[in-house]
Amino acid sequence: MKKLVSTLAIASALSLAGMAFAADDPVKIALVHGLSGSTFEAFSKQSHTGFKLGLEYATDGTMKINGRDIEIIEKDTQFKPDVARAVLAEAYGDDDVLIAV
């Protein structure tokens, strides 16, 4: 069930993108979370590992969707709301990600 939900979420994000991307472009996903600046950074590292494992599970270990590679771009919020907003805007603007988590 979890595999179905994660696959549907990624597939719906791709369908929203339409044909704006070339077939060779990777699917860029921004992982926005705190990596430094707090005692909770250990949980962020676990979240990152869990996210990657979930993608590997959903793609049967290929890390590809419809033949396109998945690229994870990590963004550090430093556990500050203003920094989180800035890196999220950077992810959608400069890094041209399809979806942010």
DSSP-derived secondary structure letter, 67? T
pLDDT single digits (tens) 28-60: 999 999 888 878 888 988 999 999 999 999 999
The secondary element (H helix, E strand) that includes residue 68 is strand 68-76
For the cut 60, the answer to whether the pLDDT of residue 11 exceeds it is no
Residues 6+ positions from 100 with CB-CB distance below 8 Å: 29, 30, 31, 32, 75, 88, 91, 92
Residue 99 has pLDDT above 70, yes or no: yes
* Lowest mean pLDDT segment, chosen from 4-8, 64-68, 91-95: 4-8
Average pLDDT, the chain: 84
Predicted TM-score of the model (pTM): 0.73
Long-range contacts of 88-95 (CB under 8 A, 24+ apart): 88/30, 88/32, 91/30, 91/32, 92/30, 95/28, 95/30
